[in-house]
Amino acid sequence: MTILPTIFMQGVSKRYGDTYVVRDVDLSVAPGECVAIVGHNGAGKSTLVKMALGLIAPTAGRIALLGEDPAGREAMAFRRRIGFLPENVAFSAAMTGREVLRFYARLKQVPLGVTDRLLERVGLAHAARRRVGTYSKGMRQRLGLAQALLGEPRVLFLDEPTTGLDIESRQMFYDVMAELRAAGATLLLSSHALSDIEQADRIAIMKAGRMVACGPLPELRRLADLPLRIRVHVVDGNAAREFTARPGVQWLDDLRFELTCADDGKIEAIRSVSLLQGVRDIEVMPPTLVDLCDELTREAAE
């Protein structure tokens, strides 16, 4: 049996005037899958998400969401199966959290009875009767998530979901995301945060409107084949002078130096520095997400 993708995009482009902001993107996301879209500011991430939601129409290409044209469907039953958490979620400051959620539940034609359970799920039950104007950034974001969860959506779009959140709030987001996926919901998130991206099955890297790579993080790391850095802390800089005179080794300050090596040379490099006198600590630092994006976009441009 073929499983229909929840999100299907083929040759999707968006042009404003003469400028393409999304160009020829193909993307297919299966039920229960989570894909993170990453890329620099202005890469076209939000535009892609808005087209998938049917909020703006593509200039070219084909989009199907839950098997239907998202722009062509006005039916509430279709909209109820979609959840969206925008980047800068804004609610009326004068309303309580409970009132806000009930307001959105009415708009989405979802039974009001579910709202208290959702407030509990996002850890806001204690503040349900407080005005949103008194909420912290994290609390407003939690309320945004509760709003996106109304109607038990089959597909969720999360734009920068955890920006500005503390560790506990982030973890709550990740727990909810894991539950949704276990229940077969599809997640598409746009993010700059590594911890968000690590939740995803695949990462789609965008650059100037094009999707330059898409795959699981370990696969992208292999593809980019970037060196990793080994940072060595010593108690006495002089003891390591001879070793650090070799090419590719760089002192950061009097008591720390760094060397780079290929992933398969890691063990050997660690072994050689651990034999030096006065080594206090060794840190192995894989390429950052920014390094990875830069390298893959550079390779795609060549």
Ligand X SMILES: Nc1ncnc2c1ncn2[C@@H]1O[C@H](COP(=O)(O)OP(=O)(O)OP(=O)(O)O)[C@@H](O)[C@H]1O
Binding site for ligand X (CB under 6 A): 16, 21, 39, 41-47
| Minimum distance from residue 208 beta carbon to ligand X (Å) | 9
The distance of closest approach from Cβ of residue 87 to ligand X in the complex, given in angstroms and rounded to an integer, is 7
Minimum distance, C-beta of residue 16 to ligand X, in the bound complex (Å): 4
Query: How far is residue 25's CA from residue 14's CA, in Å, rounded to a whole number?
Result: 10
Closer CB to ligand X, residue 32 or residue 86?
86
Q: For the CB of residue 172, give the shortest distance to ligand X in the complex, in Å.
A: 23
Nearer to ligand X, 3 or 16 (CB): 16
Q: How many residues does the chain have?
A: 302
The H-or-E segment that residue 29 falls in is strand 19-29
In degrees, rounded to 5, the angle at the alpha carbon of residue 201 between the alpha carbons of residues 198 and 206 is: 80
Between 2 and 41, name the residue whose CB sits nearer to ligand X. 41
Beta carbon nearer to ligand X, 14 or 221: 14
Neighbours of 88 (CB within 10 A): 10
Q: How far is the CB of 296 from ligand X (least distance, A)?
A: 16
Report yes or no: 185 and 77 within 8 Å, Cβ to Cβ. no
Smaller CB separation from ligand X, 101 or 292: 292
Strand, helix or coil for residue 156: strand
Closest CA to 49 of 81, 78, 86, 76: 86
DSSP 86: -
Q: Is the dihedral of CA 89, 162, 166, 123 positive or negative?
A: positive
